[in-house]
Amino acid sequence: MQEYLQGLNNAQREAVLHRDGPIMIVAGAGSGKTKVLTTRIAHLMATGVDAFQILALTFTNKAAAEMKERVIHILGNNEARNLYIGTFHSVFARILRAEADKIGYPRNFTIYDTDDSKSVVKAVIKELDLDDKHYKPSTVFNRISSAKNSLITPEEYMNDYGLQQEDMRANRPMISQIYTAYCNRCFKNGAMDFDDLLLKFYQLLSTHPESLSKYQRKFKYIMIDEYQDTNTSQYQIIKLLGAMHENVAVVGDDAQSIYSFRGATIENILQFQKDYDEVKVVMLEQNYRSSQNILNVANQIIGNNKGQIPKKLWTSNLEGEKINLVRTATDNDEGKYVADAIQEQKLRNHFRNADFAILYRTNAQSRSYEESLRRMNIAYRIYGGISFYQRKEIKDFLCYLRVIVNPNDEEALKRIINYPARGIGKTSIEKAILFANEHNIAMWEVLERAAEYGYRANTLEVINNFVIMIKMFQSELQKKNAYDLAVLAGKQTGIVKELFNDKTTEGLARYENLQELLNSIKEFTETPTEDGELLDKSLGSYLQQITLLTDADNDKGESDVVKLMTIHAAKGLEFPVVFVGGLEETLFPNAMAINTREELEEERRLFYVAITRAKQKLWLTYANTRYRFGNLTQNDPSRFIDELPDALIDKSFSGGNMRNSQTNHWNAFDKPKYSFTGAKKDTRPEKPAYLVSTPVIKLKEHIPTPGFAPSDTSNLHAGQKIEHQKFGFGEVIKMEGAAHNPVATVKFENNGEKKIMLNYAKLRIVE
């Protein structure tokens, strides 16, 4: 027996040894799917398959790098460096650069991130003279993204009666025109967005038979990780690529399909056996992560779903402790209880901060945990906040690098043409954009030919100097690596000097961030070059790499911090101790996701994912009252709590019996028998610390400025003065949260420091 097969259980070995023909590996949580995938790749190579013939697709670059390193370790040679292992987007971007001319794109095309794409959408909405309060760029972009992931082109969208009717009912009949104009603008800019990397690759394969045949022959063996998370476009691409040999191996778990909001289709894995003849199915049910009690709870929860591939996780690990179920009076008390429990567990069981994870359904829930952890001086990190690469100073510098590689990138060009200030004002920029649109040429071409477009002498000189500077950088593209060219650009553009001269605390932080970016470019250029057709050390290669990074890729797991994140962000991770908060109706399951059985079952799968992140200890918490969108709400316990097995739940932390023993259902609000308010004499029994309600602090009344009108806060940043209708005047201290759900920390003159969710708050920017 080959040495690498030792240590595999029977099911894992069966999956590894299957060579030819389609196979579906149903890998339960913690069942060693990465080990199976990597060993299977190693076995193929050990039995004569050329590394160049193997394609393995993942959802994070981190997972791809780990797989490749494991294969190298198993085989003891560097042949694995020739493998095509990567995310769908990174592998397809690599192929599209080689084939770009076939679909009319330059090989140096820019890849737009979500912010870039929304900026283009916003510009199109403005040019079509539409109300961006009604046609919100985020809403429109999400609609376009959904269409692309369903392989619907602008022409097909415009001719689809059903889609047109949906837009009419939403009172947005111009979506198809925006979609068309958006795609035209991206094409003119020589840019693709994330969804284009899938759509354009599908179009390449489906409209160019020679390209399809080339890659069908090249990739004789195809493996897809997390197959339950694939969307329509990914599914169709795999069908095309695998049609010649049908050596398609998919690994996934339908019970962990939680990304329908991104277009993921659980039917892809549920119906895999119908897509190919004689599909081999292997079930990986032995879990190596969690205690048996945690798995028993998870099995019972997911057993309530109808649409699933039946499986039952088991483990040879210890039975473990019962699951703790905790009720608190308020969401603040929930945060206090969790912080107290973490401190106690650290002292009692010698856990480190890094052993703990706090998981929640929505980003807004992090506030109470953050405040409590801060009070107890427990270090933590929030996942899903503002990415390092989305910080203003980083984005500014990267836009310079993007323009050097692709001067037709209008979004990047608009951002840096007058930064640092060089005398090209807003009017001159708008004039260039107008000329570009009128003549259907790139904005860069207008700048190159500025003398033909009537600019005044002073402005013309500045524009010419800018163009000469960019062309000078471009002349170095083939001579210098990414780091040397980035350093040159930093000096010549004046960005480094501008940030260095700002001696404020924020300025120093921005300068340090830019230095950290240069460090990352240096690291990229000094990493040993891999054999085969792998990326070079050019500036273009670096930009592609960082554009396709995810939060999971950026996490090196080095800091001793408690990790706070949504359950969606936690998928694929594991922690010794897990707290799952907010188990309340309309929060978890979420009110927006219980209209159909399919939506409710996805919420239950999300709960299953949360439970199976825990290795040793698991707490489930919920609050009687919670502030949501500025209002204090009374909460029913989540219906999922009623599905928990009584024998495995420890309610000793909850302050009493929570179930009605006669009906075995949750009481409407499950209130304590004593009253929190209204009693002249306090006759209440002493409450546990985590049930003590927080005193209500009366806000100082603010009368809004006459004619108060909310401002556009999409570009709000620290240091700006604002007015809130309720809290009054204040200054923005910091920005955090995801790009689609930004949160501002504001220090108000009369009401202290507060976190404001910008998607819901009405703020007037004062300065």
Whether the CB-CB separation of 564 and 378 falls below 8 Å is answered with no
For 377, other C-beta atoms within 10 Å of its C-beta total 7
* 408 vs 740: CA distance, rounded Å: 27
Which helix (H) or strand (E) segment is 678 a member of?
none
Whether the CB-CB separation of 666 and 642 falls below 8 Å is answered with yes
Whether the CB-CB separation of 93 and 544 falls below 8 Å is answered with yes
Radius of gyration for the alpha carbons in the chain, expressed in angstroms and rounded: 28
DSSP secondary structure code for residue 765 in this structure: E
Which residue is associated with the tokens 């160019």?
208
* 540 vs 528: CA distance, rounded Å: 17
- Please state the φ and ψ torsions of residue 440, each to the nearest 5 degrees: 55, 50
**Rounded (10°) angle between helices 33-46 and 10-17:** 40
* 703 vs 239: CA distance, rounded Å: 62
Distance of alpha carbon 669 from the chain centroid: 35
Three-state DSSP at 744 gives strand
DSSP assignment string, 434-495: HHHHHHT--HHHHHHTGGGGT--HHHHHHHHHHHHHHHHHHTTTTTS-HHHHHHHHHHHHSH
Cα of first residue to Cα of last residue in the chain, in angstroms, is: 72
Residues labelled as active-site residues: 33-34, 225-226, 256, 613
Q: Tokens representing 676?
A: 């929190």
Reference 102, options 185, 7, 198, 203; nearest CA is 203
Query: 392-428 burial, b if ≥16 CB within 10 A, otherwise e?
Result: bbbbbbbbbbbbbbbbbbbbbbbbbbbbeeeebeeeb
- Please state the φ and ψ torsions of residue 633, each to the nearest 5 degrees: -115, 145
* 648 vs 394: CA distance, rounded Å: 49
- Cα pseudo-dihedral 661, 663, 668, 670, rounded to 10: 0
Q: Tokens representing 178?
A: 């925006």
- Please state the φ and ψ torsions of residue 76, each to the nearest 5 degrees: 75, 20
Burial (Cβ within 10 Å: 0-12, 13-18, ≥19) of residue 457: exposed
